[in-house]
Structure 1
């Protein structure tokens, strides 16, 4: 097992994008730098050499100022996500344990239960807010205040196309598979995010 369970091999076997390739994931569309993108993405570090449309990585050895600004923002947001998961790991030992021995459905229930318990703890520890406090929070967001975690439980009332072995559905599966792994989409999204962040910074300075 040593040397074979690196991030790239785990990613190749991961069911992370199964719902996207089978067409069961929620439809996502957003606009960055006046361009439309139709796939959600994860913030990833440089260890993932794959240039997928679903990954946005920082830029090593940056030379342009706007690349440096983007890398700093990407790494900062990625650390925020890692800290959120670190809270669950520090609070619940079951989240720190190995996941290989659990079924996928059991892991889903474990994580959902830990998130619910985390929210209950936050609600119990949070002081009672008066109406004035709530109004002030709406006017000025307090980033230091713990936030409740939300869980997407899937769409309601939506019928998905069956995923079968026939040519019609298989072709759709392969189209989505190659869309995820499109290096051009990866580069275009990253460049749009870089320009968007740089333009926002320029507007704020003005």
Structure 2
């Protein structure tokens, strides 16, 4: 156990900056280009949460950590790309919290609110947008930065969007599955007592997962070119411009009307691409 604690501490200390980094401008451009190729202009990543059962939890915390499956657990919120790279890992929330509660506590949009995220602009169905979005499941709120599925879709367009959105959202689910298959320590219930070690174990596994993803890619010297790259999405980063006010950006992120407009535009865009088929 002492060796395990020291190992995960070292992995987190030495490699967090490189393998848990947020997407820079070049990464964002590549993610946007791939999202556009898949039929979702402006899409960055997919988001979801995973519960890790905690076997040897302090009994006094039973109520706080008991999840919807009546088991004590700790939650990992993550966003992943098509290649299963995990770009954001927010771990340590109580198992009794759901995805919405964790979203309000996480720092997933912190770079957007403080003005340090690369600025994104893209066009869908004739309308311009200035914030990228994540693909989420039905539990997430109706925010401008999250595209949810249409519940009980009616008509060919809505059904087609529902199918395409679910296929893209599976990126993060696949990342969770690969993460657990690679590391048995997080596939089985956690057996350590202290929270710091549990946190370091999960973080170290995410870091090593990204290391493996990078290694399997091979050399990155080859220039990647995608169809329609830059046709609808552009990225630029100007750190000298005035930082947007926190409240204004937060309100823009949580804009329900913009959420519905974006989703409707994506429905029409996807139908224009594949409706004839």
Q: TM-score, normalised by structure 2?
A: 0.51
CA apart distance, 1:91? 1.1
Out of 228, 236, 248, the position equivalent to 1:175 is: 248
1:41 matches 2:136: no
Out of 150, 166, 180, the position equivalent to 1:75 is: 166
Comparing 20-29 and 80-89, the one that deviates more: 80-89
Other structure's SS at 2:143 match: coil
CA distance in 1, matches of 2:207, 2:157: 38
Out of 55, 59, 62, the position equivalent to 2:150 is: 59
Other structure's SS at 1:28 match: strand
| 1:24–1:160 contact (8 Å) kept in structure 2 | no
CA distance in 1, matches of 2:196, 2:240: 30
Q: Can you list the C-alpha shifts for 1:69-109, whole angstroms capped at 9, x where unaligned?
A: 000110111113321342133213566688x6379999777
1:159 matches 2:250: no
Structure 1's unaligned 5+ residue stretches are 124-137, 139-154, 163-168
Out of 96, 102, 112, the position equivalent to 1:10 is: 102
Structure 2's unaligned 5+ residue stretches are 1-63, 68-95, 219-224, 226-235
- Select the structure with the greater relative contact order (CA < 8 A; seq sep ≥ 6): 1
| 1:88–1:118 contact (8 Å) kept in structure 2 | no
Q: What is the root-mean-square deviation in Å for CA atoms of aligned residues?
A: 3.5
Change (3 A) 1:33 1:92: same
| 2:183–2:205 contact (8 Å) kept in structure 1 | no
Change (3 A) 1:193 1:13: same
Greater fraction helix: 1
| 2:116–2:239 contact (8 Å) kept in structure 1 | no
Q: Which residue of 1 aligns with 2:119?
A: 27
Q: Can you list the C-alpha shifts for 1:109-149, whole angstroms capped at 9, x where unaligned?
A: 763443123332565xxxxxxxxxxxxxx9xxxxxxxxxxx
Greater fraction strand: 2
Q: Which residue of 2 aligns with 1:101?
A: 196
| 1:23–1:160 contact (8 Å) kept in structure 2 | no
Q: TM-score, normalised by structure 1?
A: 0.66
Could you list the structure 1 runs, at least 4 aligned residues long, displaced by more than 6 angstroms after superposition. 102-109
CA distance in 1, matches of 2:217, 2:138: 34
Out of 212, 215, 219, the position equivalent to 1:117 is: 212
CA distance in 1, matches of 2:127, 2:205: 38
| 1:95–1:111 contact (8 Å) kept in structure 2 | no
Q: Which residue of 2 aligns with 1:92?
A: 183
